[in-house]
Amino acid sequence: MSTRATPPDNPFFAEFLDDFFAECDEHLAIVRRNVLALEAAIGRPQVARSPIGELLRSFHTLKGLSGMVGVQTVEQLAHQTESYLRALSQGQCELTAEALSALVAGTQMIEQVLVAYRAQLPLPDITLIAARLATLTPSAPPVPTAQPKATNGTARLMSETAARV
């Protein structure tokens, strides 16, 4: 189910939205860079703290900003991603190819929602990717979804997404 993005018709809010989109773009660039850095850590017992810390900060900021402007779908996706990254940083789970693929897909969905919101178009349905992200966190109940394998094409996926935003 998609809904049409209709921000309030208010000059102050419109100016605030410009800042919101600029801030989101900055954090998504940080996310893309750090997700790429994680690819080398797949299957390793320890993941470098620096990219995880930057990802946590960026997803936390995306969650908060989206909550402030009422983009609940981005808020939800960022929250689920942040939960997984926190569990990963605390050693409660490991980085797998499937998890990295879900991070890439979640990031791409956040970008798609923001593009739709900016253009005041119907928002994409996040149900499948939200369920997929939820399964990454150890305390989350498993949700049956098809999870494509991550490939060395992670860089290609992230660059294609960046080109569309």
Q: Where are the domains of the chain?
A: 11-164
Tokens of 102: 């879900």
**Residue 154 has what pLDDT?**
42
**Residue 46 has what pLDDT?**
79
**Residue 5 has what pLDDT?**
57
CB 30 within 8 A of CB 110: no
pLDDT tens digit sequence for 98-156:
999 999 999 999 999 999 999 999 999 999 999 999 999 887 544 443 333 333 344 44
**Residue 146 has what pLDDT?**
36
Q: What string of DSSP letters covers 44-62? A: -S---HHHHHHHHHHHHHH
CB 61 within 8 A of CB 27: yes
According to DSSP, the residues that pair with 4 across neighbouring strands are: 122
User: At the top level of CATH, which class does the domain 11-164 belong to?
Assistant: mainly alpha
**Residue 148 has what pLDDT?**
32
**Residue 44 has what pLDDT?**
83
**Residue 48 has what pLDDT?**
83
pLDDT tens digit sequence for 1-53:
445 555 556 666 677 898 999 999 999 999 999 999 999 889 887 788 899 99
**Residue 161 has what pLDDT?**
47
Q: How far apart are CA 71 and CA 117, in angstroms?
A: 8
